[in-house]
Amino acid sequence: MGGRGPVSLKEFINEFGFPVVLVNSNVELIDANQEALRFVGKDLDQIKGQLGGEVLECIYAAEPGGCGNTVCCKACTIRNSVNSTHHTGKPLVDVDAYQDIMTKDGLRRVHLKISTVKSADSVLLKIVTA
């Protein structure tokens, strides 16, 4: 990266001008760049270790069983994309995802474009609004 020598993963993801998070195979947040923190309007300490649906405030994450354990979660594009990349090692690019999230103005369906790439035992996840 620009001839600066080795950089940490945190420095690497902060170089991107779009939201990037690092998640494990269960879509638990490990780290996030500054753009991702702005995107969700939260500090890293608030969301580290949370599941993706909890971070995005998906309405299904608030149901009994929580994120990843409802009937709707089985069709979650974000969860399925992360799991696919984690298991196959194959990246995905600009996959359409729709999330029903709770905002300060109420329920809203958000159209996202997501991309994934495997990084060791984790997955880098790019999330941008479409």
As a CATH number, domain 9-129 is: 3.30.450.20
Q: For residue 6, what pLDDT is reported?
A: 77
Q: Which tens digits make up the pLDDT trace of 47-72?
A: 999 999 999 999 999 999 999 999 99
Q: For residue 104, what pLDDT is reported?
A: 82
The C-alpha atoms of residue 46 and residue 31 are separated, in whole angstroms, by: 11
- Model confidence, pTM: 0.88
| Alpha carbon distances (Å) from 118 to 23, 89, 91, 126 | 10, 6, 7, 12
Domain residues of the chain, as ranges? 9-129
Q: For residue 41, what pLDDT is reported?
A: 92
The residue ranges of the chain whose pLDDT is under 70 are: 1-5
Q: Which residues contact 9 (CB under 8 A, 6 or more apart)?
A: 22, 31, 119
